[in-house]
Amino acid sequence: MSDEIRLPRQDHVTTPGIQHHFCERSSCGRDAGWGFAKPKQAPHWFCFEHRADGQRFL
């Protein structure tokens, strides 16, 4: 008999097809929900707080 206590998993669940991005502002590293890109260029990603930084990539 096991008395192991099962806790909810806290790991990030990676959903196939949905890319996970991190803010490009150095020393930030939070989840980036805003992507900025010119046509045919790789997008730059920033979090809510630093999304203004992305404007210069447009």
Binding site residues, Zn ion, CB under 5 A: 23, 25, 28, 47, 50
Query: Measured between alpha carbons, how far is 24 from 41 in angstroms, rounded to an integer?
Result: 16
Q: Closest CB to Zn ion belongs to which residue? A: 23
Least separation in angstroms between residue 3's CB and Zn ion is 43
Least separation, in Å, of the C-beta of 32 and Zn ion? 7
51 burial class (0-12, 13-18, 19+ CB within 10 angstroms)?
middle
Q: Considering the complex, what minimum distance in angstroms separates the CB of residue 21 from Zn ion?
A: 11
